[in-house]
Structure 1
Amino acid sequence: MDTALTIRLALEADIPTLRQVMERAIDQLLPAFLPAPQVAASREVMGLDSQLIADRTYYVVQAGEAIAGCGGWSRRATLFGGDHSAGRDAALLDPATEAARVRAMYTDPAFTRRGVGRMILATCEAAAAAEGFDRCEMAATMAGEPLYAACGYRRIEPFEAETSAGVRVPLVRMGKSIARPA
């Protein structure tokens, strides 16, 4: 019998476990979509942005005591990347003219195909809509794009993030209109 999934805000105390979930997801899920050099390079352009935890916009999905996945949204300009990534921008977005950002979505490989990503997306979209946003955008990995497309996100543009070693990691900017609460 599967353990029920629950969702809650991430806490600073979760950070070590979240980093482990992210590592497992990169190691085990990306190789089906990218060659080994791009998988390794992904660590430079992906990862946990602790600002999301501080902003209370990052979530943990639990299956019992295990963290099955994590992800969040942001009212800040940064589209992707972790604490260690270059080019982050903490400027606040204007919900009247800009899209909220869906950020740092990871599912532990032991919990794929169980609704973890959909649960996080629905939570993020509802929270962003409650703050006045009517659109969400993200930088999707090749492994994440099928889920996001199935959840109504549309391709805006493919692009590449170049690492300090010159390896190019393919990503795709995706977006979706969301309904504001009445």
Structure 2
Amino acid sequence: MTGAPVLRAATRVDVPAIGELMRRSVLDVFPRFHDERETAAAARYLTEPDTVLIDDGTYFVCEAEGQLVACGGWSKRDKLYTGSGAAPGDDRRLDPETEPARVRAMFVRGDWTRRGLGRAILDRCVETARAEGFQTLVLMATLPGVPLYRSFGFRELRAAEVPLPNGVVLDGVSMEYILDGEGES
């Protein structure tokens, strides 16, 4: 495969490559925003592919030259982010009329940043979440993602902490995007 990256729905076959992409992205991008300990913890705890998203058809990858270079998606379930631990209601389906969908697990390989791949994935998230009746998207942004989400139109709700299982706490931002039904973001 050559040329422009192709955006497509992720499949179970992609899981190992998604995990590798996530870890590479964290190791490439997080050091610009986080210290060595925070980066190492993020690479360990925020990079486990969530197969529920893949099975739900709400997770996407960008493939270029036979390699995955970006991934991300949204969830119609109650889990806010990977690494948040397991909670009893994580698999509960959200009510699109009253609850926001969750943007989840957005990663772009360091050598592919600033090429519109994150925005393309967010456009797909908006399109497909809106088609399922959701009115709002929310996310917990780590610092590397905040500029993308702001430029896309997410508004910051509050500063937040992202606690990881080993005790490391990352700075984060809780953000929201209203799906107004007007097609384009």
Range class of TM-score, shorter chain: over 0.9
Post-superposition Cα deviations, 1:77-115, rounded to whole Å, max 9, x if no partner, equal 111015xx5134111111111111100000011211111
Corresponding position of 1:106: 107
Q: Are 1:152 and 2:168 an aligned pair?
A: no
Residue 64 of structure 1: how far off its partner (Å)? 3.4
| Contact 1:130/1:180 (8 A) holds in 2 | no
Corresponding position of 1:87: 86
- TM-score under structure 1 length normalisation: 0.92
Residue 161 of structure 1: how far off its partner (Å)? 2.2
* SS in structure 1 of the partner of residue 143 of structure 2: coil
Corresponding position of 2:76: 75
Corresponding position of 1:39: 39
| Contact 1:154/1:175 (8 A) holds in 2 | yes
Residue 44 of structure 1: how far off its partner (Å)? 4.8
Q: 1:134-153 to 2 correspondence within 5 Å?
A: 134-153=135-154
- TM-score under structure 2 length normalisation: 0.91
Corresponding position of 2:4: 4
- Consecutive unaligned residues of structure 1, counting only runs of 5 or more, are none
| Contact 1:45/1:80 (8 A) holds in 2 | no
Post-superposition Cα deviations, 1:125-175, rounded to whole Å, max 9, x if no partner, equal 100000001110011110000000000001112211223332111111111
| Contact 2:38/2:170 (8 A) holds in 1 | yes
Point out the more displaced range, 45-54 or 115-124. 45-54
Corresponding position of 1:64: 65
Tell me the C-alpha RMSD between the 2 structures: 1.7
| Contact 2:70/2:118 (8 A) holds in 1 | yes
Residue 38 of structure 1: how far off its partner (Å)? 1.0
Corresponding position of 1:133: 134
Corresponding position of 2:22: 22
Q: How many residues align?
A: 179
Distance 2:51 2:4 in 1: 27
Which consecutive aligned stretches of 4+ in structure 1 deviate over 6 angstroms post-superposition? none
Q: Aligned letter for 2:165?
A: S
| Contact 1:21/1:107 (8 A) holds in 2 | yes
Sequence identity, in percent?
Answer: 37
CA change 1:146–1:69 in 2 (3 A) is: same
Q: Aligned letter for 1:122?
A: D
